[in-house]
């Protein structure tokens, strides 16, 4: 039995590289689907577009202690997107502290650090659009609360659309 097993296992020689051997055993490739629009980022969390909902505001605190008001455009447990005034000096890959109130039955103050991953104008002459990615500062319970808030609001939007 051992001899049959030995015959089934390829012998490693100098001219047979490991990567070719692995490709023979695992011929498929893992492909990640990409969107056609490069401006859309792919997050691993539910996202809520705040377009048809009451405004939700956040405060960004920079490293020097300056407070910056941010109007949230969309929210997920992985980050948020919002707009700020043009005069605020920010740069890509800057770390900021994000504070916002999650409007649940009992409002909950969320505080975490986030990295500024993109700054865009998107045709808005009076403001800039920021994309922030939360760090590991949110624990699983806080992420679950954000997901619950998002799903609840999405169901509310679906009910409203049916009534329109």
**Hey, where are the domains in the chain?**
47-163
Helix or strand holding residue 90 (H, E)? none
Helix or strand holding residue 163 (H, E)? helix 140-163
Each residue's pLDDT tens digit, 91-109: 888 899 999 999 988 889 9
pTM of the model: 0.67
Q: Write out residues in the chain with pLDDT < 50, as ranges.
A: 1-3, 5-6, 8-16, 30-32
- Return the bridge partners of 111, or none: 99
**Residue 19 to residues 6, 15, 162, Cα–Cα distance (Å):** 20, 12, 55
Nearest-angstrom CA–CA distance, 53 and 135: 26
Q: Which fold has domain 47-163?
A: Thrombin, subunit H (2.40.10)
């Amino acid at each position: 039995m051992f001899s049959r097993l030995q015959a089934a296992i390829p012998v490693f020689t100098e001219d047979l590289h490991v990567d070719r051997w692995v490709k023979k055993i695992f011929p498929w490739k893992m492909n990640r689907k990409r969107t056609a629009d490069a401006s859309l980022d792919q997050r691993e969390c539910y996202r809520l577009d705040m377009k048809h909902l009451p405004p939700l505001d956040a405060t960004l605190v920079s490293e020097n202690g300056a407070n910056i008001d941010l109007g949230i455009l969309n929210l997920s447990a992985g980050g948020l997107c919002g707009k700020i005034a043009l005069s605020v000096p920010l740069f890509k890959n800057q770390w900021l502290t994000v504070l916002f109130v999650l409007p649940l039955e009992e409002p909950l103050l969320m505080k975490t650090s986030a990295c500024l991953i993109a700054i865009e104008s998107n045709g808005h002459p009076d403001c800039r659009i920021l994309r922030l990615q939360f760090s590991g500062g949110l624990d699983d319970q806080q992420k679950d609360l954000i997901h619950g808030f998002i799903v609840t609001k999405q169901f509310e939007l679906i009910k409203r659309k049916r009534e329109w």
